[in-house]
Structure 1
């Protein structure tokens, strides 16, 4: 059983109320990401149904494949219960259990929690009688963080570096991440004097630890400017956004 303080429940209730009044309906987790620290075998996550109707929710964890059926998903983590019904405005506790013995000890690992909501096949209230029922899948990152990593996560941004290079006739942005943490970006922009900001986009904007990732640029008319820079927005452990910028090397 999950115990929360009265203040926490009041805040959570206000989130549900505001979401019910908005156009963004669906299953809403209480946070945007979940972090397991070494030694933790399970974590709890509260979910709220902000739809105006009940839904059946199927929960499973995979490695981000996106096209795997729940029964074929492979992960060191399990979500319990895996299937449940949630009334409109109701709250459900989800338990994530993990076995991290096979995971690397020198860097973070990441899995994806899938929350697949199935609406009723018949209208349950006049309010939604003319609406189309659409099944939706919400994905959320779940990290495993080993102990005794060589630097705190707050130092990650300063260690990142970027370069521009040509690939298949187009310029791409490469993020070099020498840290043991995942660098989760909400935006990446190449800027220069006299040049409008050029956005870099992929389906998943996260650069893995001790690795690099290539981001295609929407368009870049690069004329040899020497003052190119990268502006970025990173997402921290609590889901907060942090802006930063650094020079970019042209390869």
Structure 2
């Protein structure tokens, strides 16, 4: 224990030798980007919130780290010097092929701040990255993206012998969640759902719900995130 405390104090002392930046220097004008076909181009803005110049590096990558999916987009400029309090438009260009025509596709769009090298060697420079979702939505998809969350199907089940919830999305759209809660009487049980791809289902164990049996819950209350990044409240019925 004494050795651990000594190491902790030494590490804290080492950190005190450096001045850390107080916050990130860039902001984005979007929380998500949606490119809707047949358009092949859209854009977003990056703002340097600081008074000093920075470099920004931008790129698009597969949403899943385990995916070997091609990225049929170009992002320009990929590298740019941004003066203090200036803004830069990023153009997102789709090459026009390589993605499914019957459903949405999703990617990560990242913008990383690369600070100018400090003249003070005691300043610790940190490159801060912001990452948002990029959706490609083909033209002519069936249904209405704003109505898709209300058409989700919710089913109580057993997952590994414990109460669980299955969510089914029969739409062509990704559905992003803010919060998801099962309501049963005066109790509320959170569900760790984040996003459901088109034409898919996911199941989740319900933590702390050992007494919640299939058929015992009453309803679902959840938030979906729309194209503007706004949380929209919904409720749904459970089946068993």
* TM surpasses 0.5: yes
Compared CA separation, residues 223 and 41, structure 1 to 2 (3 A)? closer
Cα distance, 1:160 vs structure 2: 0.6
Residues 204-237 of structure 1: CA deviation (Å, up to 9, x unaligned): x110011112344343233436343211101111
Secondary structure at the residue paired with 2:211?
coil
Unaligned runs of 5+ in 2: 1-21
- Which residue matches 1:188? 180
- Which residue matches 1:89? 85
Question: Hey, what's the Cα distance between the residues in 1 that align with 2:184 and 2:231?
Answer: 23
Cα distance, 1:147 vs structure 2: 1.6
Cα distance, 1:193 vs structure 2: 0.3
Cα distance, 1:52 vs structure 2: 5.6
Counterpart among 193, 197, 200 of residue 208 in structure 1? 197
Question: Hey, what's the Cα distance between the residues in 1 that align with 2:106 and 2:222?
Answer: 21
Output the TM-score relative to the length of structure 1. Answer: 0.76
Compared CA separation, residues 134 and 80, structure 1 to 2 (3 A)? same
- Which residue matches 1:48? 47
Secondary structure at the residue paired with 2:136?
strand
Cα distance, 1:130 vs structure 2: 7.8
Compared CA separation, residues 65 and 151, structure 1 to 2 (3 A)? closer
Output the TM-score relative to the length of structure 2. Answer: 0.80
Aligned length in residues: 218
Aligned positions of 1:104-115 closer than 5 A: 104-115=100-111
Unaligned runs of 5+ in 1: 1-22
Question: Hey, what's the Cα distance between the residues in 2 that align with 1:198 and 1:142?
Answer: 30
Cα distance, 1:26 vs structure 2: 3.9
Residues 48-89 of structure 1: CA deviation (Å, up to 9, x unaligned): 122464332211111123589xxx983111211111122332
